[in-house]
Structure 1
């Protein structure tokens, strides 16, 4: 496989040029900024304040072990929501037109135990460019060798049961991120087929300092300040991580690994069949697009099509863009993949796992 991929120029201008023109006209006609509005700032404050409150209640030592376990699980859910609603937009430069605001809000990623610098490479650069391309997009990999998502991967006997064991694996996503993923990605010579430039020295400091502070706040301080045994601290920490991992894992997989999404390969020349924007339509799906709850909790990631086409537009605007994107795609006879609800998306993902676990 060629390591230098190119997207076809065929059809690039008509579809995406038309779509961009219509989206730009929407913002101009409404006199709106594509960045955060008051509702978006309110969401950010809600999730950040909730996270701080839950941690304060947990570390206060004024509650029994069961309420503290509940606070820990709630922390995991709020951490995932901060990642979806605050960090993700900021790291894409979509939250604000002011770079330093995006930088500071992007640093909320440390609250998840994750590194924003590594994320910008693996997600912003690699995933958004090479979406669902086997051997290039590592974001879709759950557990290489253990979970098969593409016909290009070898079929193993245990894959027959992957529709049963993959969902529990998602609960480990956050644990992997906190203790393994960032370190591995940071020190890899290449991610997928992308070779990052040499990391600045400050990013080495940020990586290890960010991780150390996370371990301090969520493992060391609870043990020192609370009247609980070390194993109870670990149970609370695991409850937090498993809840966070399940939310993170499910939301990201439901956007790219459902029925209808493709895993295209380049030609021998290294050229993809479609233009980049059309490639995004074929590899990405929305779920629960009419659900206000999904939009509020998932930070617009339930409208992944709009996000992939316009990653620098704040997700608070995606509901208004949905009709524009859908109608333009249909006008050009292009796919626009949707699952009507969260549960239909879950069922579709389950069927993909089941199908990929068996011979064609």
Structure 2
């Protein structure tokens, strides 16, 4: 299988799919700038009005799209130099979205190296939701109650994910040792927070201001979670000591989402998760062409290539989380036993 990746990689390089696409990212940047401008204009024009919550929701969407750009910059997809991409990613993540770039990039790098591998992929570690049976079985108290219902609770819980992402980033910057650009990121996050909070709490009544911030964070959390969850959740889990080559490991644990250009725009290119994991520095516009090359190689080698609709992917995630959540339940927790207990 090691040869399989080498062959695919050679074809990808020959077809120029790793070349930069500055025109595309310039266009995306302009669209997002127009979006921010429209949101600011709407905020000023609406004044003291509950319609401001529509502006808050729009900002949640815009911040998520900026996060997608930050993700691509971190993967060296936008600019020609590594340091330039790092600076851009840090500015977008910390200065615009409000998330620590240092925290996110460390976590995301480990995920790419070992997707869905127990003990090595931070994305399947416990964070309210349990992704492994052993973690679900160890749940106690409130977390146990949530774990039993975690499939159905997943999307409602995502309304809190925006707060969680901000919190984890700041916690990392404040508590970890040897964090690169610690004070720069903290400064960017604080300036960004002030740029949002000051006008919101000056212009709007207190209750409306809190509602505005709450809606913005909720939309951001749901959108981020809805974009990232279909990629690996419900795909095979790799044992800590399993031996897999790079090609098999990345393809078998990743799921693509059908939908063409609209799915690519909606999910920031994450709909081509298989290709993104095989070629992390491939710009978004080339992923669809790479998909044809990778699918053909998988068909030739008999390697499962998973692709489904967005709606079906969400159903799979919910089913998987509910199945894992069963491990948190009392083995005697069934209707018959409950009836005898009441008697």
The partner residue of 2:53 within 58, 69, 74 is 69
| More helix, by proportion | 2
2:281 aligned partner: 312
Structure 2 partner of 1:102: 85
Q: Which has the larger radius of gyration?
A: 2
Output aligned runs, 1:82-97, within 5 Å.
82-84=66-68, 86-97=69-80
1:247 partner SS: helix
SS in 2 for 1:133: coil
Change (3 A) 1:33 1:276: closer
Q: How many pairs are equivalent?
A: 320
User: Can you give the 5+ residue segments of structure 1 that lack an aligned partner in the other structure?
Assistant: 1-10, 190-196
Cα RMSD (Å) of the superposition? Answer: 2.1
Quote the residue 2:334 is aligned against.
Answer: none
Name 2:34's counterpart in structure 1: 49
Q: Which TM-score applies when normalising by structure 1?
A: 0.83
- Alignment partner of 1:175 out of 163, 172, 180: 163
Aligned 8 A contact 2:22 2:79 in 1:
no
Q: What secondary structure does 2:133 align onto? A: coil
Pair 1:34 & 2:19 matched:
yes
Cα 1:154–1:244 change in 2 (3 A) is closer
Separation in 1 of the partners of 2:134 and 2:301? Answer: 29
Residue 245 of structure 1 corresponds to: 221
Q: 2:116 matched to 1:138?
A: no
More moved, 158-167 vs 75-84: 158-167
Give the whole-Å Cα distance in 2 for the aligned partners of 1:49 and 1:102: 23
1:5-41 Cα deviation digits (max 9, x unpaired): xxxxxx32x11111101111211xxxx6622242332
TM-score using structure 2 length: 0.86
Find 1:208's aligned residue among 166, 182, 186. 186
Structure 2 residue runs without a partner (length 5+): 332-343
Find the aligned partners of 2:112 and 2:30 in 1 and give their Cα distance.
27
In the alignment, which residue of structure 2 is the partner of 1:280?
Answer: 250
Which whole-Å CA distance do the structure 2 matches of 1:147 and 1:306 have between them? Answer: 27
Cα distance change on mapping 1:76 and 1:35 into 2, 3 Å: same
